[in-house]
Amino acid sequence: MMDFLTVLSDALRGAVGVEAIVYVMAAIGLNLHFGYAGLLNFGQVGFMLVGMYGVAISVGTFELPLWVGLLVGIGLAVVLALLLGIPTLRLRSDYLAISTIAAGEILRLTFGSRVFEDITGGVYGLQGIAQEFRDANPLPDMTYGVPGVLAFTHRDAWVLLVGWLVVALLLVVSWLLIHSPWGRVVKGIREDEDAVRSLGKNVYLYKMQVLVLGGVFGALAGAVWILHLGNVQHTYFMPIVTFMLWAGMILGGPGRILGPVLGMVILQFFLTGMDSLLREAIGSGVIPADTLSSSAVGSIRFVLVGVVLMALMVFRPQGILGSRKEMLVNVQR
Amino acid sequence: MSNDDGTAGRGAAEGGADEAVSAPELPAEPRISVDLTGVAAEPGVAKPDPILVADGVRRQFGGLTAVDVAHLEVPRGSITALIGPNGAGKSTFFNLLTGFDRPNAGSWTFQGERASGVPAYRVARRGMVRTFQLTKALTRLTVLDNMLLAAPKQSGEGMLGAFWRPGWRRQERENLERAESLLRRFKLYDKRADFAGTLSGGQRKLLEMARALMVDPALVMLDEPMAGVNPALVQSLLEHVTALRDREGKTVLFVEHDMDVVMGISDWVVVLAQGKVIAEGRPDDIRSDAAVIDAYLGTHHGAPAEEGSGG
């Protein structure tokens, strides 16, 4: 018999767990980029990388306090955004897209290379980064949640608590900014930057501000990730991470404050749930082992989730929270 | 109200403007008149009190010289039309003046200050606001947001200022009042909560014009304001354009193909052909100008067609 409670438990864990938090935070940044300003950032994973390595190198290699590492991570994200934005934000949006996807890969390969092994740990990465954070855990050592359905150790609960609080903070910051004259200009730039320019707004500056802010959100996602894992390796930062963020954002509805949260949580729910479901099915003989081996589950679940995503886009192309009315507006003349 | 050149078309346009005054919240201010009677109708002529003066403006695309304007003055408080056959360089000249393109040579001043080499957004802040040939409504913003966005010097426009709501609430209310009164005037008030993308082509032209006024410019530059507009709306648009001059004392420089429109509302007409100013003058001067007829119809032609259409 298949154990559906286990499947549900795994899916829920995926939906609210630390990985979901990390993806949600990075997707909130991406939503600022694409959903509000129309910036095509295909290298959000690069911002997560500098956030994560900023903490890891400061703490691991240079033995600095954790808060310094956080500032370094944020600072690196600002620098990366400026490096990407200064040459490309005056040009058509495609140039940012090309630069960001390349920058993500360049960063991953550079941080994993032997040349900088003394600093980055090369292919081995850096370990033992989260100790200071774990020592600061005020939660008593017990199990949190509903035993058997969704339970976390006090260490995980501490990361979840901090993580979701940071998510809430990022949402508040986004909401305040978007529902202000600043946000109005940014949305105007998404629609037609020449029109906004003709009305006396410094479009380049606004685009730069959005790129930096969304990038910093990505770096914070990386920082939360390392607080959970305690280690970092360059292999975490494959381009697929960025595309998962895009999928989650589009699923939830770009240009909606809660869009990336809902989309990412649902996507994680389905991904982990599907994984667990397939394994259960194979384990209990519902799916014969010679039809699907458990080693193929990892890729098959992506196929199945892809089908779900496609169906959703057919029936609700504006995303879960998106407005159909808004999407049907004739963007052309 | 003085009528300095007294063309029939101008008289009709003013009659139209009076109709628009029916909106109660707008006082009928006396128009700031521009006296161009003594100005000779020849290319590059100096005018009394020019708001915009361009010198030696040249723009080349490879081997093609799109714009080559030796000297041009736009008189303050007037409606000046920029006409010319397709490819004459009208829109390119517009783009240059408003900072959307860079010239290969030349300079120009706006209100006595050098305005060449200034980025587009600063040109607009100085009071020179343009519209576009292909209307640029911000489609997925509401009509009202389109208007509010354009208001200048908003303290909530800065990234840090945005967080301090009490700092921009009052200003936002004031801008809202101004935006709503403009929307009433341009008969878009009922549409204020709709996405701008749901407006018709003519309504988008109206919105663009109203939005430009939110910036409170001294010079309004309209790139083909009548293009693609339902003929029934043309008259109403014309009234709005003349009202800019007559009621608000704005200077208008506009590119247009429709000769009836040009001859009807312009105080001064500048004709571009192959990038050069080949003629300028009052509408009556232009109608009978041989160089203009040549440029439009070619050197060998029969009876000039403009005679009929210029009416």
**pLDDT confidence of residue B309:** 42
* Sequential DSSP letters for A156-208: HHHHHHHHHHHHHHHHHHHHHHHTSHHHHHHHHHHH-HHHHHHTT--HHHHHH
> Residues B176, B250: one domain?
no
Q: Are B219 and B250 part of one and the same domain? A: yes
Q: Is residue B210 part of a domain?
A: no
pLDDT (tens digit per residue) in A233-292: 999 999 999 999 999 999 999 999 999 999 999 999 999 999 999 888 888 888 887 888
Domain assignment of residue B205, yes or no: no
Report how far residue B95's alpha carbon sits from residue B89's, in angstroms, rounded to the nearest whole number: 10
Which of A69-73, B35-39, B299-303 has the highest mean predicted lDDT (pLDDT)? A69-73
A332 within a domain of the structure (yes/no): no
- Cβ-Cβ contacts under 8 Å, A209 against chain B: 159
Q: Collapse the DSSP code of B106 into the 3-class scheme (helix H, G, I; strand E, B; otherwise coil) and give the result.
A: strand
Does residue B21 surpass a pLDDT of 70?
Answer: no
A142 exposed, middle or buried (CB, 10 Å; 0-12, 13-18, 19+)? exposed
Q: Is B286 among the domain residues?
A: yes
Q: Is residue B40 situated within a structural domain? A: no
Do the domain assignments include residue A19?
A: yes
Nearest beta carbon to residue A184 from set B129, B149, B195: B149
Q: Which helix H or strand E contains A216, and what residues bound it?
A: helix A203-229
User: What is the bridge-based pairing of β-strands B79-83 and A144-146?
Assistant: unpaired
- What pLDDT, on a 0 to 100 scale, did the predictor assign at position B6? 38
For residue B149, what are the domain limits? 141-198
- Nearest chain A CA: its distance from B157 CA (Å): 4
Q: Are residues B231 and B157 in the same domain?
A: no
> Does A198 touch chain B if contact means CB atoms closer than 8 Å?
yes
Domain range enclosing A182? 4-327
* pLDDT at residue number B30: 45
Could you report the per-residue pLDDT of B210-267, keeping only the tens digit for each? 999 999 999 999 999 888 788 888 888 889 999 999 888 899 999 988 888 888 899 9
CB contact under 8 A, A191 and B228: no
B contact residues 95-134, partner A, Cβ 8 Å cutoff: 98, 100, 119-122, 124-125, 129-132, 134
Residue B56 sits at the chain A interface (C-beta within 8 Å): no
What does DSSP assign to residue A232? B
Could you tell me if B248 and B260 are in contact, meaning their C-beta atoms sit under 8 angstroms apart? Answer: no
Whether residues B88 and B221 fall in one domain: yes
Q: Is B44 contained in some domain? A: no
Instruction: Reduce the DSSP state of residue B80 to 3 states and report it.
Output: strand
Cα dihedral value B1, B4, B10, B12, nearest 10: 50
Q: Do B137 and A195 touch (CB under 8 A)?
A: yes
- Kindly state whether residues B156 and B294 are assigned to the same domain: no
Decide if B128 is inside a domain: yes
A202 contact residues in B (CB cutoff 8 A): 119, 121
| Distance (Å, whole) CA A23 – CA A263 | 10
> Does A213 fall in a domain?
yes
Report residue B56's pLDDT band, with 50, 70 and 90 as the boundaries: very high
- Regarding whether B238 and B126 lie in a shared domain, the answer is yes
Q: Domain holding B220: CATH number?
A: 3.40.50.300
- B307 pLDDT tier (thresholds 50, 70, 90): very low
> Residue B154: inside a domain, yes or no?
yes
Check which CATH number belongs to the domain holding A202 and give it. Answer: 1.10.3470
Specify the DSSP element, H or E, that contains A131. helix A131-135
B262 near B309, Cβ under 8 Å? no
B278 to A308, B81, B165, B262, B270: CA distances (angstroms): 65, 14, 54, 17, 8
Q: Is residue A333 part of a domain?
A: no
Spell A12-43 as b/e; 16+ CB within 10 A means b: bbbbbbbbbbbbbbbbbbbbbbbbbbbbbbbb
**Each residue of A137-185: pLDDT tens digit?**
999 989 898 887 888 999 999 999 999 999 999 999 999 999 999 999 9
Give the whole-angstrom CA distance, residue B3 versus residue A316. 60
B244 shares a domain with B231: yes
CA-to-CA distance for A15 and A6, rounded, in angstroms?
14
Residue A205 lies in a domain: yes
Is B19's pLDDT higher than 50?
A: no
How many domains, in total, are found in chain B?
Answer: 2
C-alpha closest to that of B74 among B96, B49, B44, B52: B52
Last residue of a domain, one of B151, B171, B198: B198
| Judgement on whether residues B61 and B193 belong to the same structural domain of the protein | no
Q: How many domains does chain A have?
A: 1
Q: Do A185 and B157 touch (CB under 8 A)?
A: yes
ipTM of the complex: 0.88
Q: What angle do CA A213, A216, A220 make, to 5 degrees?
A: 140
Does residue B152 share a domain with residue B124?
Answer: no
Q: Are residues B145 and B185 in the same domain?
A: yes
B134 phi and psi, to 5 degrees?
Answer: -95, 115
Is residue A46 within 8 A of residue A67, CB to CB? The reply is no
Q: Who contacts B103 (Cβ-Cβ below 8 Å, separation ≥6)? A: B57, B58, B59, B67, B96, B116
- Residue B141 contacts by C-beta under 8 Å, 6 or more apart in sequence? A184, A187, A188, A191, B149, B195, B196
